Structure 1
Amino acid sequence: MSSKSNSHAGANVILPFNPKVNTAKQPAQPLAALPHKYAVDHVTPRKTQDLRGTCWDFATISVLEYTYRQQGIANGWLAPNTYVSLSEQAYGADLLRLCTTVDKNKCYFTATQNTTEGGFVLELPLLAKDISIFPDAVCPYVAAPGSDTVCPGQTEAAKKTNPLKVTVNKYSTLIDADDIKRALVTDKRYKYDDY
């Protein structure tokens, strides 16, 4: 992982529906113009949450992981056949720390109750300036239920020397599958050119 000061993940992020967010429609491109199949470049391998309710955590980290990979390849920080595996465990543990002590008003109910069971992806843009994103090696995922706050590698010293920072420049809430396809194709979403 690069320790350059510009090694942060600034991204346009597509997030699932949240009734608190304005969902005004953008002008639509005709569906006929969209390809039948489309893949986003540099997607990282899938992972498993096992029996914990952390799908939101994995969805968030997945977007950050392959956005960082896109940026890393484009800027020469990473070779095209490599990626940095980011830690869902560290993100979930830090989100709980923030939601139970510092930023309760920015968090959904489950996080304020000190559990990652049933969290929300939308907590990332609300907490991005304070949240810690670490490589998986610092804090590997613990599959056992009840291990939501376990992260021995997430120390104050590690936070101070961590080169990864997240900036959410923009996010969109898209509900309809066709709107999501349109955003992926026309906007080339998960961009890395907005930081």
Structure 2
Amino acid sequence: MTELTPLPPSIESLTPEWLTAALRSGGALPEGSVTAFGHEIIGEGIGFIGTVARLKLQYSGAGPEAPATAIAKLPSEDPGSRMVGVAFGLYEREVRFYSDLAGDCGLPAPKPYFSHYDAGAGQAAIILEDLTGGAFGDQVAGASWPRPNSRSMRSAPSTRGGGRARSSPGTPGSPPASRPSASPSN
């Protein structure tokens, strides 16, 4: 079996053998193997400090449960962005979210097929279920509350009063507080 470490440092360094081992480790590919794949970089230029690509997978001997596509997330190849991601623990946090929390957090999240962080190398690799049809938010510009016509907002369960997460106006994740009028009261 192909070793999963060292982790691939770029989308171009992914191999069919590595993808087979990664998908198998997460239960997405119980039989068969990846024989070839193509990729399309997605989410480029909107605040990411990593590389995100949609993989189009081809198999030999795989069952119908094998995903036709998957999302690969790897740290940025840009040294400055990578340094920020490692220094602030962003890559490790994302890996831990998918491996430890995503299935139980009560929010819709793609199924992780593989997620691993190598602290010594400052390297991470995440392979996720492809939720085609969704849209990327802009991590730099942010979003307004509530976001009209947002698929993610309509599908996310409410946490207000449900015992999971509570927030008050002005805290992250809550709607903005009403503000008094700035006009004079005379």
TM over 0.5, shorter chain: no
Larger fraction in helix: 1
Larger fraction in strand: 2
